[in-house]
Chains A and B, each alone.
Chain A
Amino acid sequence: MSPMLLADLTVFTLALLVGFEVISKVPATLHTPLMSGANAIHGVVIVGVMLLAATVTGIGGYVLLAVAAFCAAMNVTGGYVVTDRMLAMFRSRS
C-alpha cells in the first residue's frame, strides 16, 4: 500500500464516522429535505469531473467528459435549489 492510499483510506474512514454521527434525532418532516441536502453534497462529483478534464484526450474522451459534466452540474445546481425550496416551504408552515 502506498502512503497516499493509506492517507486516503484514513480520511475516508473518518468521513464515514463523521457521517454516522452528524445525523442525530431528525424530526420526520425533515427526512426528505435532509436527503435532498445530502444529495446536493454528493454533487461534489463535479470537482472530480473537472479534474478528469486534465487527462482526457480524443473525441471519445471529450464526449464522455461533456456527458459527465452535464450530469454532475445538474446534480449540484438542481440539488441545492430544490433543497432550498423545500426548506422555504417548511419554514413558512411552522
Chain B
Amino acid sequence: MSAFDTIVHLVYLACAVSFVIGLHLMNAPATARRGNRISAAGMAVAILTTAVVLGHGGVVTTGAVVALVIGAVAGGTAGLVAARRVKMTAMPQLVSLFNAVGGGAAALIALGDHTATTQAAVTGALDVAIGALTFTGSLVASGKLAGRIPGRPLVVPFGRLISAGLAAIAVLFSVWFVGDGSNWLLAVVAIAALAAGVLLTLPIGGADMPVVISLLNACTGTAVAMAGFVLESTPLIIAGGLVGAAGAILTKLMADAMNRPISAIIAGGYGTGDAVTVSAG
C-alpha cells in the first residue's frame, strides 16, 4: 500500500467517525445542530478526498468528468434551492424526495458498474432491488404527504399477490444475474423493484407516512452499503450500514411513539391523512 493510499484510507476513517459522532450528538436537542454540522464537515472532506483520488489515479476520461460535474452541480443546486425554499410544514415530503434520489443513485451505481466478480454480482443485485424499491416507495410517500397522491389508503386489487409475484421475479432474475452477469437481467430486477415500491406504499395511509419514510430511509442506507460492496468502498459500507441500522431503530421508536406496530403500518389500510376526524361529545 502506497503512502497515498494509506492517507486516503485514514481520512475516510476520520469521515466515518464524524458521521457516527454527528449522529450521536443528534440524540439531544442541545447538541443536535452541532452534530449535523460535524457530519456535514465529514461529508465535505470525504467528497474532496474522492476528487483527489480520481485526479491522482488519472484514469477518468474527460467525458466522465464533464458528466459528473454537470450532474453534481445541477443536482446540488436543485437540492440546495429546494431545501432553502421549502415551508416548514412541507419538510417531511422533501426529506422523502431526497431519500428517493439517494436510493436511485445507489441503484444506478450497480447498474453502471461492470465488475464481474460474484461479490459484486450478489451485492449489486441487492443494491438494485433495494435502491429501486425505495426510489418509487419514497416518491409515493412524498406525493402522499404533499397531497399530489390521495393520502387515504389506496388498495390495489390483488396488490399483495402482484407484490409477491414481483418479489419472485426480482429473486429469480437476481440469481440468474449472479450466474450470467448480463446487465439486462439486472434491469429486469430494477423494473420489478420499482413497481413493488409503488404497490407497497400506495395502501399505506398518510398518517403513517413519517414511519414509512423512516423505514425507506433505513432501506436506502442498506442499498448504499451494498453499493459500497460493489465498488469496494469502505466509507459507503460504513455510512450505509450506520444509517441502515440507526434508521431501523428510529423507525421502531417512531412507531412506538404512535402506538402502532410496524407490521400493521406496512400492511396498510389505516389512517386517511386528509380526513378530519370529528369526535362526539
Closest to A44 in B: B239
The answer to whether B250 and A35 have CB atoms under 8 Å apart is: yes
If A71-B101, A78-B94, A81-B79 touch, does A23 touch B249 (CB 8 Å cutoff)?
Answer: yes
The answer to whether B231 and A35 have CB atoms under 8 Å apart is: no
Interface residue ranges of A54-75 to B (CB < 8 Å): 54-57, 61-75
Interface residue ranges of B47-87 to A (CB < 8 Å): 47, 50-51, 53-54, 57, 59-61, 63-76, 78-80, 82-84, 86
The answer to whether A90 and B29 have CB atoms under 8 Å apart is: yes
Q: Does B177 contact A (CB under 8 A)?
A: no
Q: Does B189 contact A (CB under 8 A)?
A: no
Residues of B within 8 A of A77 (CB): 75-76, 79-80, 83
Q: Does B7 contact A (CB under 8 A)?
A: no
In the complex, what distance in Å separates the CA atom of A80 from the CA atom of B35? 11
Residues of B within 8 A of A15 (CB): 16, 225, 237-242, 245
Interface residue ranges of A36-57 to B (CB < 8 Å): 36-57
Contact among A17, A26, A64, A69 for B75, CB-based, below 8 A? A69
The answer to whether B68 and A53 have CB atoms under 8 Å apart is: yes
Closest to A57 in B: B61
Interface size class of B (residues with CB under 8 A): 35 or more
Q: Does B233 contact A (CB under 8 A)?
A: yes
If A38-B246, A41-B39, A84-B36 touch, does A51 touch B217 (CB 8 Å cutoff)?
Answer: no
Q: Does B173 contact A (CB under 8 A)?
A: no
The answer to whether B86 and A27 have CB atoms under 8 Å apart is: no
Binding site secondary structure of chain A:
helix
Closest to A33 in B: B32
The answer to whether B246 and A81 have CB atoms under 8 Å apart is: no
The answer to whether A71 and B112 have CB atoms under 8 Å apart is: no
In the complex, what distance in Å separates the CA atom of A12 from the CA atom of B237? 6
Q: Does B33 contact A (CB under 8 A)?
A: yes
The answer to whether B92 and A32 have CB atoms under 8 Å apart is: yes
Please provide the 10 A-B residue pairs with the shortest distance between their CB atoms, ordered closest to farther.
A19-B245, A78-B79, A69-B71, A15-B241, A73-B75, A70-B75, A66-B71, A81-B83, A74-B79, A75-B102
The stretch of B103-111, B150-158, B159-167, B266-274 that contacts the partner chain: B103-111
Q: B residues near A, CB below 8 A?
A: 16, 19-20, 22-24, 26-29, 32-33, 35-37, 39-40, 43, 46-47, 50-51, 53-54, 57, 59-61, 63-76, 78-80, 82-84, 86, 88, 91-92, 94-95, 98-99, 101-102, 104-106, 108-109, 111-115, 119, 210, 213-214, 217, 220-221, 224-225, 227-229, 231-250, 253-254, 257
Residues of A within 8 A of B214 (CB): 31, 35
Most buried by A among B40, B119, B235: B40
The answer to whether B242 and A62 have CB atoms under 8 Å apart is: no
If A31-B253, A37-B22, A72-B105 touch, does A43 touch B213 (CB 8 Å cutoff)?
Answer: no
The answer to whether A71 and B102 have CB atoms under 8 Å apart is: yes
If A15-B225, A19-B245 touch, does A44 touch B95 (CB 8 Å cutoff)?
Answer: no
If A42-B243, A46-B47, A49-B109 touch, does A94 touch B221 (CB 8 Å cutoff)?
Answer: no
The answer to whether B32 and A69 have CB atoms under 8 Å apart is: no
Known: A42-B220, A71-B105, A76-B79. 17 other contacts (CB 8 A): A11-B237, A12-B238, A13-B241, A19-B247, A27-B29, A30-B32, A34-B23, A34-B26, A37-B35, A45-B102, A50-B51, A50-B54, A51-B53, A64-B112, A70-B71, A76-B47, A85-B86
